[in-house]
Structure 1
Amino acid sequence: MKLVVVQCCIIFLLLTSSFFVPSTADSSCGGKCNVRCSKASQHEECIKDCNICCEKCNNCVPSGTFGNKDECPCYRDLKNSKGGPKCP
Structure 2
Amino acid sequence: MKRISLKSVLFTLFLLAVGAFPAFASEGAKDPNAVALLLGLSAIGAGLAIGPAAGGAGAGQGQAVRGACEGMARNPQMAGKLTTTMFIGLAIIEALAIYGLVIALILLYANPFAGHLLGK
Using the size of structure 2 for normalisation, the TM-score is 0.24
Structure of greater relative contact order (alpha carbons < 8 Å, 6+ residues apart): 2
Using the size of structure 1 for normalisation, the TM-score is 0.29
Question: Could you say which structure has the higher helix fraction?
Answer: 2
Between structure 1 and structure 2, the one with the greater Rg is: 2
